[in-house]
Every structure is written in C-alpha cells, then in structure tokens.
C-alpha cells in the first residue's frame, strides 16, 4: 500500500475513535457533520452580510463580497465535478471498518466537495472582512474535519478540497474585478427590485 493512502487510513481510523463513545458527542458530531447545520449557518451569514452596511457604499462592498463568494462556490463545485468525472476514490468506510454516524455517500471521496465549497466562501469573505471571514473559516474547517471523524472523508480529500476552495476564491475575485460592470449592474437591478 502506498504511504499516503496508509497515512490517510491511519488518520481516519484514529479520528474515528471519537465516534461511538458517548451519546452527547455523537449527537453533536452528527449535527456538525450533516449537510444542513453548517451550510445553513454559512447561508445565513451570507444573507446577513448582503443586507448589512451603514451606508450605500458599505452595502455595495458587502454585496460584491457575496457575489465573489457565490462565484467562488460555483467554480469550486464545477472543479470538483470535473475531477470526479475522471477520478473516483472510495470512501474510508469502504476501505476499513469504522463507527459510522453519517449516511453513506456514494460519490467520490476525492476531493472533498463540502470542504471546497465552504473554503471558497470563507476565503472570499476573509480577504475583505477579517472577523466574519474568520468565523466562516472556522465553520468550514470544523465541518471538514468532522467528516473525517465521521469516516466519510480522508485528510488528503479535505486538503485537496481546501486547495480548490482557496484557488476558486482567488479566481472568482479576479473574474469579478475584470468584469466590474456586470456585478455593479446586477446589484443595481437587485436594488430596483428591493433585493439589495
């Protein structure tokens, strides 16, 4: 067995020791690992940021950050989809016996899509808003690592997903910088509709 795969398996097995020990920790882990809690919190943060700002300029700046984050999310998801078309990696629970607290995903383990998506959002915000960005980054990392503890992702899947998210965030920023009139027009239209 190749060294990276062996290390991945050992790390998942070690992290999975935290699963199945106590009902309270299992309940919290299930909640954090789920496809609902952290995405919902991230969505609420994006929504709050979209409508926040002391003046029109501050609101427009926040809305541009959100457009960057959403574009980065799309780029990250597309990248993972393309990689998954060419490469499939079995999930940790397919390789070794683990205590499972999560449903059994059937898609490729590599790269970790939740990590790519959440890190893309977090880094898009972090570059412009340090406090909110730090909170979103902590949530993204917590969600990502909990999935390793739950036995559905390897550490290398998470690392690859994080790399994709970071790169997607920078690409999104460059795209929106080059196409500044388009986001500005979109925000103006949404203002007319009372959605911005």
Torsion of CA 151, 157, 161, 163, to 10 degrees: 140
Compute the distance between CA of residue 150 and CA of residue 102 in angstroms, rounded to an integer.
6
- Domain CATH code at residue 122: 1.20.144.10
Q: How many domains does the chain have?
A: 1
Model-level pTM? 0.90
Query: What pLDDT digit, counting tens, does each position of 56-109 carry?
Result: 899 999 999 999 999 999 999 999 999 999 999 999 999 888 988 888 888 999
Tokens of residue 97, six digits: 């016996």
Q: How many residues are present in the chain?
A: 196
The domain in which residue 97 lies consists of 3-192
Burial (CB count within 10 angstroms: exposed 0-12, middle 13-18, buried 19+), residue 65 = buried
Tokens of residue 184, six digits: 């500005």
Per-residue pLDDT of the chain (196 residues; tens, 9 = 90+): 688 888 898 999 999 888 888 889 899 999 999 999 999 999 999 999 999 988 989 999 999 999 999 999 999 999 999 999 999 999 999 988 898 888 888 899 999 999 999 999 999 999 999 999 999 999 999 999 999 999 999 999 999 999 999 999 999 999 988 887 877 777 778 777 777 6
- For tokens 């917590």, name the residue: 142
């Amino acid at each position: 067995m190749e060294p990276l795969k062996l290390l991945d398996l050992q790390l998942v097995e070690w992290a999975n020791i935290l699963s199945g020990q106590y009902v309270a920790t299992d309940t919290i882990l299930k909640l954090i690992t789920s496809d609902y809690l952290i995405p919902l919190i991230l969505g609420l943060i994006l929504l709050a940021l979209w409508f926040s700002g002391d003046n029109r300029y501050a609101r427009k700046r926040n809305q541009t950050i959100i457009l960057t984050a959403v574009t980065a999310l799309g780029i990250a998801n597309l990248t993972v989809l393309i990689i998954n078309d060419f490469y499939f990696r079995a999930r940790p629970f397919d390789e070794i016996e683990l205590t499972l607290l999560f449903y059994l995903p059937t898609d490729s383990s590599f790269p970790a899509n939740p990590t790519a998506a959440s890190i893309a959002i977090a880094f898009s915000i972090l570059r412009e808003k340090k406090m909110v960005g730090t909170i979103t980054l902590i949530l993204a990392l917590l969600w990502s690592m909990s999935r390793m503890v739950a036995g559905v992702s390897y550490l290398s899947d998470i690392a690859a997903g994080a790399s994709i998210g970071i790169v997607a965030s920078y690409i999104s920023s460059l795209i929106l910088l080059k196409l500044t009139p388009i986001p500005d027009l979109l925000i103006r239209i949404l203002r007319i509709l009372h959605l911005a």
